Chain A
Amino acid sequence: MYLCTMMADETKKAFNVRAIREQFPALSQKIYNKNLIYFDNGATSQKPAMVLDAINQYYSKDNANIHRGVHFMSQHATTEYETARKTIQHYIHAKSSDEIIFTKGTTDGINLIASSYGELLTEGDEILITAMEHHSNIVPWQMLCQRKKLTLKVAPINLKGELITEEFDRLLTDKTKLVSVTHISNTLGTINPIAEIVKKAHAVGAKVVVDGAQSIQHMAIDVQALDCDFFVFSGHKVFGPTGIGVLYGKEALLEKMPPYQGGGDMIAKVTFERTTYNELPFKFEAGTPHIAGGICLGKAFEFLNGLDLQAIQTYEKEITEYAQDLLDTFEDLSIIGEAKHKTSVVSFSIKGIHPFDIGTLLDKQGIAVRTGHHCTQPLMDFFKIPGTIRASFAFYNTKEEIDTFIEAVDRSMNLLK
């Protein structure tokens, strides 16, 4: 056993940021004549050559529609697409590949759950979210609550940006049928205690949706260990293409849920009188899917499988803390989000300076950050700020880049004062 583990570890490449950067062609470009520093990974990640090659390979050679063709290319594309599904299943430790539904992304996944699982909810039922959710994990529930006369409850956070456990416990009652919570806050970097939340929710009979848009690329995910009922994420934030994502759902729940959209691929038999639906996962995948997206997302996970996830997690925490400590030395600068458990995101605001101004000046120095409300307007209202400047990191970022970024922040602040 020990020997097997050792051998498996040895096959993983040692974590070397220089070697990793070489695999991401986008990182070596110049922007406004400056070396690009890409700190907008919370919005989307760059793509490794392995994924880019797979996109090229698919469209230049393997392109065919899947699942129904009798010809070689169709069968080959089908095998590749279904292999990707299995790769993702193993990566997130789902029991079965039938539990992996391909979607357009996190937003699509949440809307699917709200539309389909939402049909099983009845008047008076409650849905519980937190105050740090992305608009994508607020608005679909508001729409569902309006449609089905349900109540949306919001668990508050403290000034550090952590969920207030006592308040969450108070709002979680036997009326709560669904808890939908982000794994990592896109604005604050707070890591929520998902396993604990799931345990409490299950104790009152509620199901749990985890918004994994910001966690899938930063930590090992085991949906069975978390015991969450649904886990959704976007491909483009985890080094894959845009327009593809995944909804994991426990098989028994997915079986109970009505289809989300009707069309080809999701049917077993259609007559004008009645249609019977296809089995999982196809029941939820109407129409020709994003075939290239699915296959190439599989490649992104194969890429991650070649890395040491534990080492990545440690490295990302280290660079996040490094950036936060340096930013903390500026007078008039406040870090927004100081949770004990946080990673990969540093949001900050500067007294008397609009985030838009800093963002514009950093851009002209070759540095990509995000400014604004980050699709979390209620959270900005809570902190009473118009927006933040957010630097979000990936494992290909370096401390040298952070040093350059700090100098650029300093230069920008001096210009704007």
Chain B
Amino acid sequence: MTLQEIQEEIISEFDVFDDWMDKYEYIIDLGKELPIIDPLKKTDDRLIEGCQSKVWLDATVVDGKMQFTADSDAIITKGIIGLLIRVMNEQSPEAVATADLFFIQKIGLQEHLSPTRSNGLIGMVKKLKMSALQALNA
């Protein structure tokens, strides 16, 4: 699936929720399923420190495709990371580096990626894209 198709799929999954708490219950469940970063890789160079919650991200390239694992100390942040990784995983470095993450706004989670939210997610998206750029230049 392309990055575009996965985003469309997520949007339609979220369409069923008309209550915010149901939506967040789903995000929390996603957080529990996140491909967790190897604890040994939870090092400072993989840490994105937000004012409120912390995010660790590891990026590798396998057979020309990006592979991400991550973790956070807050479970809602983890759920949103889970969504971001689902979109970006197994994609080419080019696709990740130039990704337009329109699904975030469509499913009403844009507040989590606003600069004032300070949960490390903005930094994480930057790092996802940077790692793809590095892979391109390698």
B21–A387 CB distance below 8 A = no
Q: Taking A364-B20, A415-B25 as contacts, is the C-beta distance between A357 and B51 under 8 angstroms?
A: no
Q: Taking A371-B52, A415-B28 as contacts, is the C-beta distance between A356 and B21 under 8 angstroms?
A: no
Tell me the complex Cα distance, A416–B79, Å: 12
Contact residues in B for A387 (Cβ distance below 8 Å): 52
B81-101 near A? 1/0 per residue, CB < 8 Å: 000000000000000000000
Tell me the complex Cα distance, A387–B54, Å: 12
- Whether B113 sits at the interface, judged by CB under 8 Å, is no
- Whether B24 sits at the interface, judged by CB under 8 Å, is yes
Contact residues in B for A415 (Cβ distance below 8 Å): 21, 24-25, 28
* A residues 355-387 touching B (CB-CB < 8 Å): 355-357, 360-361, 364-365, 371-373, 386-387
B-side interface residues, number (CB < 8 Å): 15
Tell me the complex Cα distance, A415–B29, Å: 9
- Whether B75 sits at the interface, judged by CB under 8 Å, is yes
Contact residues in A for B28 (Cβ distance below 8 Å): 357, 415-416
Q: Taking A372-B51, A416-B75 as contacts, is the C-beta distance between A360 and B21 under 8 angstroms?
A: no
Q: Taking A372-B52, A415-B28 as contacts, is the C-beta distance between A356 and B76 under 8 angstroms?
A: yes
Closest beta carbon of chain A to B54's beta carbon, Å: 8
B76–A357 CB distance below 8 A = yes
Q: Which listed residue (A32, A354, A364, A371) contacts B73, Cβ 8 A?
A: A354
* A residues 111-167 touching B (CB-CB < 8 Å): none
Contact residues in A for B24 (Cβ distance below 8 Å): 360-361, 364, 415
Q: Which residue of B lies closest to A354 (CB)?
A: B74
* A residues 368-417 touching B (CB-CB < 8 Å): 371-373, 386-387, 411, 415-416
Contact residues in A for B21 (Cβ distance below 8 Å): 361, 364-365, 411, 415
Closest beta carbon of chain B to A211's beta carbon, Å: 22
Q: Which residue of B lies closest to A366 (CB)?
A: B20
B20–A357 CB distance below 8 A = no
- Whether B67 sits at the interface, judged by CB under 8 Å, is no
Closest beta carbon of chain A to B76's beta carbon, Å: 5
- Whether B7 sits at the interface, judged by CB under 8 Å, is no
Tell me the complex Cα distance, A354–B50, Å: 13
Q: Taking A364-B20, A386-B73, A416-B75 as contacts, is the C-beta distance between A356 and B52 under 8 angstroms?
A: yes
A354–B75 CB distance below 8 A = yes
Contact residues in A for B118 (Cβ distance below 8 Å): 372
Q: Taking A371-B52, A372-B52, A387-B52 as contacts, is the C-beta distance between A356 and B74 under 8 angstroms?
A: yes
Tell me the complex Cα distance, A357–B21, Å: 12
Closest beta carbon of chain B to A53's beta carbon, Å: 30
Q: Which listed residue (A354, A361, A364, A416) contacts B53, Cβ 8 A?
A: A354
Contact residues in B for A354 (Cβ distance below 8 Å): 53, 73-75, 77
Tell me the complex Cα distance, A355–B73, Å: 10
A335-361 near B? 1/0 per residue, CB < 8 Å: 000000000000000000111110011
Tell me the complex Cα distance, A356–B118, Å: 10
Tell me the complex Cα distance, A386–B53, Å: 9
Q: Which residue of B lies closest to A361 (CB)?
A: B24
Closest beta carbon of chain B to A36's beta carbon, Å: 14
Tell me the complex Cα distance, A361–B76, Å: 9
- Whether B119 sits at the interface, judged by CB under 8 Å, is yes
Tell me the complex Cα distance, A354–B76, Å: 9
A356–B119 CB distance below 8 A = yes
Tell me the complex Cα distance, A371–B53, Å: 10
Closest beta carbon of chain B to A285's beta carbon, Å: 31
Contact residues in A for B53 (Cβ distance below 8 Å): 354, 356
Q: Which residue of B lies closest to A352 (CB)?
A: B75
Closest beta carbon of chain B to A136's beta carbon, Å: 16
Contact residues in B for A32 (Cβ distance below 8 Å): 20
A357–B74 CB distance below 8 A = yes
* A residues 223-272 touching B (CB-CB < 8 Å): none
Tell me the complex Cα distance, A409–B28, Å: 16
Where the two chains meet, the residues of B that have a C-beta atom closer than 8 Å to any C-beta of A are 20-21, 24-25, 28, 51-53, 73-77, 118-119
**Sample of 16 further A-B pairs with CB below 8 A, known A360-B76, A386-B73:** A353-B75, A354-B73, A354-B75, A355-B52, A356-B52, A357-B75, A357-B76, A361-B24, A364-B24, A365-B20, A371-B52, A372-B51, A372-B52, A373-B51, A415-B25, A416-B75
Closest 8 A-B residue pairs measured CB to CB? A354-B74, A364-B20, A356-B74, A356-B52, A356-B53, A357-B76, A372-B52, A360-B76
19 contacting pairs across A/B (C-beta < 8 A):
A354-B75, A354-B77, A356-B77, A356-B119, A357-B28, A357-B75, A360-B24, A360-B76, A361-B24, A361-B76, A364-B21, A365-B21, A387-B52, A411-B21, A415-B21, A415-B24, A415-B25, A415-B28, A416-B75
